[in-house]
Amino acid sequence: MKQKTIKQEVTIKGTGLHTGASVNMTMQPAADNHGIKFQRTDLEGQPFIAADVGKVSSTLRSTNLTQGKASISTVEHIMSALAGLHIDNVLIQIDGPEVPILDGSATGFVDAILAAGVEEQKEDRDFFTLDDPVVYKDEATGTEIMALPADDFETIVMIDFNSPVLGQQYMDFDESTDYVSEISSCRTFVFLHELEALAGKDLIKGGSLDNAVIIANEAMPQKDLDELAQKLGHDTIGKSGKGVINTNLRFENEPARHKLLDLLGDMYLLGKPVKAKIVATKPGHKANMEFTKLLKEQYLHQRKLKNKPKYNPDTPPILTTVDIMKRLPHRSPFLLIDKIIELSSEHVVGVKSVTFNEPFFQGHFPGNPIMPGVLQIEAMAQTGGILALASVEDEGNWDTYFLKIENAKFKHFVVPGDTILFKMELLAPIRRGICQMRGTAYVGNKIVSEADLTAQIVNRG
């Protein structure tokens, strides 16, 4: 599946729900791999704000982004529209602090994007295919959002506000669901008892009867309802009664559908589409963001493991222990690699089977055997030595010596029974005998240690 952008620019005008600011928002086509970025054209220097979960600065009733001194708020509905229409690359220029609320749904954004036209690009979409479950849970609120490995994308949303009117609601979404007709038109909603508190926090300066569904759990006397309307700057809110008091629902479960709309938009701040099954119970912007941060952590973890070497013990090694000893001067008990399973001009992979009989376990530590981190670095260096010496003739007459160790990190214990894969990759071509390498040590699907090493190749003669 290819990346997509819009064919031509399109402008939307409207008012921010929380700030009440009138804004002009123009979406511009963007190149492959540009991603989604906002640009505050009203600020000095017209700064950019990346649509990235790492830029989220607030989730109080909406999702807000900050980069440097520039901020943009209430991005969830435009992000949802872009996610629903599979738009990967777009520049969103806006002359105010908040994305317009329009009718409280994503319909206005969807209509604008479709009017501009959608264009397929050359580069493939970069999907994040989840390998392991990711779970966010908030015991205080009862919120739980779970991601499970799956071949495609699917989302299930369940909401329960302990409302006798709203009840429990459910909505599911997958690749066969038509986002435009089933999700995009579902509006934000608010309970009547929340309105005064929101107004007191200056959170709905741009709110009106046209951009939110108002739900009353209990009937409020019309007089009190009208007084509340005046406090909010409106002539009326609706008629006294239980249930939805200011409009008609577009779907019986419109609130659940809107929560799904929000979740899609918030998750798109991951920066890429996801292949996973998402089950969300009582989601909200704060929970959505915490969950998306966990997804981002998992993505980064999987990306590190993407180039993890594959090890099959039945495959004959490129170099055995005997072969290694012909190239390296190290001997037992200080020869810390058993065999080489991959070797090219730019990388090498060595294997070390860690047994309880290793001499260092006698003192590190009695009753709690853990392989010292410095010996893991030494094993990396020996593995890297094989790579470095492969670049010279008559390998047996050369040695490699440490010059520098940088960025060393030790992430997990290595214990008896573990098999370590040491992967060393050149960071730059070998020049004047100087070899710069990045080393990564794997046990199973874990990175146990990593470091950047610099060594010098020296002739023994």
The reply to whether 211 falls in a domain is yes
Q: Do residues 290 and 358 both lie within one domain?
A: no
The β-bridge partners of 259 are none
- Give phi and psi for 419, each to the nearest 5: -115, 120
Q: Residue 195: what pLDDT?
A: 79
Q: Do residues 277 and 213 both lie within one domain?
A: no
* Intervals of the chain under pLDDT 70: 196, 198-209
**Structural domain containing residue 422:** 321-459
Q: Tens digits of per-residue pLDDT, 53-69?
A: 999 998 887 899 999 99
Cα(145)–Cα(207) distance, rounded to whole angstroms?
Answer: 29
Bond prior to 333 in cis (omega within 30° of 0): yes
Q: Do residues 336 and 212 both lie within one domain?
A: no
Q: Do residues 344 and 377 both lie within one domain?
A: yes
Q: Do residues 234 and 202 both lie within one domain?
A: yes
In the block, which residue shows the tokens 């290793």? 358
Contacts of 329 (CB under 8 A, 6+ apart): 399
Bond prior to 365 in cis (omega within 30° of 0): yes
Q: Do residues 289 and 215 both lie within one domain?
A: no
Residue 67 near residue 48 (C-beta atoms within 8 A): yes
The reply to whether 314 falls in a domain is no
The reply to whether 170 falls in a domain is yes
Q: Do residues 66 and 123 both lie within one domain?
A: yes
The reply to whether 308 falls in a domain is no
Residue 78 near residue 63 (C-beta atoms within 8 A): no
Token pair for 91: 């520049």
Q: Domain total for the chain?
A: 3
Q: Do residues 172 and 133 both lie within one domain?
A: yes
The reply to whether 315 falls in a domain is no
The reply to whether 306 falls in a domain is no
Q: Tens digits of per-residue pLDDT, 253-267?
A: 999 999 999 999 999
CATH code at 143?
3.30.230.20
Its pTM stands at 0.77
Q: Tens digits of per-residue pLDDT, 431-446?
A: 888 999 999 999 998 9
CATH code at 329?
3.10.129.10
The reply to whether 312 falls in a domain is no
Q: Residue 202: what pLDDT?
A: 61
Q: Do residues 69 and 193 both lie within one domain?
A: no
Q: Do residues 51 and 154 both lie within one domain?
A: yes
Q: Residue 209: what pLDDT?
A: 65
Token pair for 350: 């060595």
What percent of the chain shows pLDDT beyond 70? 97
Enzyme catalytic residues: 285, 364
Q: Do residues 172 and 196 both lie within one domain?
A: no
Q: Tens digits of per-residue pLDDT, 189-210?
A: 988 888 767 666 665 665 566 7
Q: How far is CA 103 from CA 144, 202, 209, 211, 399, in A?
A: 29, 19, 9, 4, 72
The reply to whether 386 falls in a domain is yes
Q: Residue 92: what pLDDT?
A: 99
In the block, which residue shows the tokens 């060595």? 350
Q: Tens digits of per-residue pLDDT, 339-381?
A: 999 999 999 999 999 999 999 999 999 999 999 999 999 999 9
Q: Do residues 366 and 279 both lie within one domain?
A: no
